[in-house]
Structure 1
Amino acid sequence: MMHMQPSLSPRRLCLFNTTTGAALRELNFLTSILAVRMNRQRLIVILQDKAYVYEINSLTILDTIDTVPNIKGLCAFSPCLDACYLALPASTTKGSALLYNVMDCHLHCEIEAHRSPLAAMVLSSNGMYIATASEQGTIIRVHLVSDATKSYSFRRGTYPSTIFSLSFGPSKQLPDILAASSSSGSIHLFTLGFASHPSRSKRSSGFLGSIIPGAVNDVLDPAYHHVLHNAVSAGVKSHAIIRKVENVTNSSSSELLACRAIMSVITYNGYFQEYNLSIDAQNELSWSLVREFNLLTATMDKAS
């Protein structure tokens, strides 16, 4: 476990044993730590102009990556050991990302995803896909990491909005759900892997589908985009996390009947929300708010 406290320097990273609570090791840096990521074999520390890759057990530095100025500590990390990638911004003027294989310590590829600088990005848990959003916030793009090709493009909205977070479901196979939270206060859900659904085939065989490439057609087709309007207050920073995805199939035909998920939303004014989501074979979304409470109030009540 990594831990940083206000009383400690923002340039110091402390590692703790989560079972005993004992401090294991401290790492000190010349500038403030902006982000930390880890899995069972790698520890990643993001500074404003560098990224450090450590072997998790010995804390040996395996690689030091010079980056463009990255004042927000923007990065994406795949925990999968077979496809363990780290994504970092490649430019401050356009929306391109560099992907590094941090198991073998080499640059894998560069993906040019947007015209505007990146605002958010996330890698799927199996390292297969990377989703990105620019500072414009109108388009979410998903690329296949293996060959840096665009697989999906989704239109979040017509007007610019700040994308606060992107989150894939933990499923290692499609169908999957990609969630995005934004400054509009709405949570956007995009379904991946429903391409074989008959209704999609019917739409794609229409006039527009016959003349517009599939990736662009996805932008124009709202069928795989669902919105939870006003889930949080507009302008309040929030993170939406898809915690579980379950695909329900017909036992006799293996036909997909529904995709169910659990989503958690945490806001910077202290609220926690948990939703049950279900998307059926007709791509209709149903959802319910299971619970909502203020973490700050709950903590104070527990302390008293």
Structure 2
Amino acid sequence: MNNPPTLQNMASSNEEIYGIPTMRIKSQEEQAIIAAQGAQVLSWTDPQGRERLYLSPQTLHLDPAQGNKSFGPAIRGGVPVCFPQFSDRGPLMKHGFVRSRIWDTADGSELSTADSASSSLFRFADDEGTRAHWPHCFNIQLHAEIGQGQLRIRLQVDNPGDAPFSFTVALHTYLRVADIRQTSLFGLQGVMFEDATKGMQKSVQQEEALQIPDETDRVYLNPPEKLSLHEGGKPSLIIEQQGFFDTVVWNPGPEKARALPDFPDGDWLHMLCVEAACAARPVTLQPGESWTGSQVFTVPG
């Protein structure tokens, strides 16, 4: 079975991936690559040198010639930030608009792969373009950090305006797996979920381990904070979240994969989205309030 190429193997230059400006952060034997578009973590290589995030080799992205005021195609893979709307649960564009805009680094410095820091902070604020779609003042920032066999992502949303607003949000994480047919997700037994493949029908998971034989699209309601991904019968990754109400598990399966223009037909076998989300019910912020959510991935010792 052929696995998709890693991001490092596809990189054509030190500063851009697929023409996207990026930042590389490092910590001993680990590294991560973060795109300016969407402050999207594209890659995390663990201490054993294994790539842990999936990125489609056919992904689309913003056309630099269009500038940063357009809402172009999203990057398929890594950790997209969905805000201020998750999926199509509302009147806005699917998964919101911040993943299709260029974010600023916290200190305004140039993006560079020469940065030896183990963390980075990106920020984005409302502007004329966003207010045309969603008439609210907001600040959003993403902090990504690696080290000691972990990738830690923290997302913060602030309301600096004079009126309340509500939003749904997610870290739409694409995990890279060797073979989805040999992959199981533990920790969701007894948890109620909404099944998008069955018209949002609600069910309770009975199985101890969730396996993915075909298309899977579920929003787990009030899940535990810690899940465990197993590959080949062995623990492969510990997944934790805080501040988020829900966990979304998604894989397109073979039929839907063939219908996605930015996704190779066979790559459904090599990815699983395990997303920290507030999807089933929104977060509401009053003026001056903030919300914070995080997702942490740990390689078992």
- Normalised by the shorter chain, which TM-score bucket? under 0.3
Q: Which structure has the highest strand share of the two?
A: 1
Tell me the TM-score normalized by structure 2: 0.26
Tell me the TM-score normalized by structure 1: 0.25
Larger radius of gyration: 1
Greater RCO structure (CA 8 Å; 6+ sep): 2
